[in-house]
Amino acid sequence: MHFLSDELDNYVVAHSENEPELLQQLTRETYQKILQPRMLSGHYQGRVLSIISKLINPKNILEIGTYTGYSALCLAEGMQRDGELHTIDINEELVDFQRSYFDKSDYGHQIHQHLGSALDIIPELDKTFDLVFIDADKPNYVNYFHVIIDKLNTGGVILSDNVLWSGKILDKVKKDDTSTQTLLDYNKLLKEDTRIETVLLPIRDGLTISRKV
């Protein structure tokens, strides 16, 4: 979604933190070799994720939806020195690609990859989390919320990506469009659930910050 003109958008990016060199390399290789490279968080949103993580300074981070590892590396920048980041993805073909970049970073030994369904994996994790990032299959967003809320520490934060869904949340939902309908239900849930306080930011395709009270 384009809320700003290209000129203003360029100004915003130019006056935000620079993209680290490793993430520039990751972006280039993703665009060269991987399908759907627009799924990357990218420079600006990556810096948003980084600074939120640094403000929270989480001990344990959970990411649902790894893709090529860009957002995980951004979130890891704010992690405590003895912390862990657990990232889950269902695409076996990307595991080695992700690990190659994790190991080039300062956080490789702290990042744990999980392959399979997040709904099966999360209940098996003997951890509670200070920061959760949801950026996976949209029809399961509500399910993800319910499976993680009791593993989120008080004061912990859930970041939810793509909650504006290219503006489709304002359109009449087609009968077979489960992604848009689920996002509508999810946004309503985040607004109304008394266990959290939420603000929806019009950053890129929509990023919600929800804090457990």
pLDDT band at residue 6 under the 50/70/90 scheme: confident
pLDDT band of 2, cuts 50, 70, 90:
low
| 18-57 residue pLDDT tens | 999 999 999 999 999 998 888 888 999 999 999 999 999 9
What pLDDT, on a 0 to 100 scale, did the predictor assign at position 73?
98
pTM of the model: 0.95
- Per-residue pLDDT tens digits for 123-167: 999 999 999 999 999 999 999 999 999 999 999 999 999 999 988
Q: How confident is the model over 63-75, as a mean pLDDT?
A: 97
Cα 134 to Cα 49, 100, 171, 175, 206: the distances in Å are 12, 22, 23, 25, 12
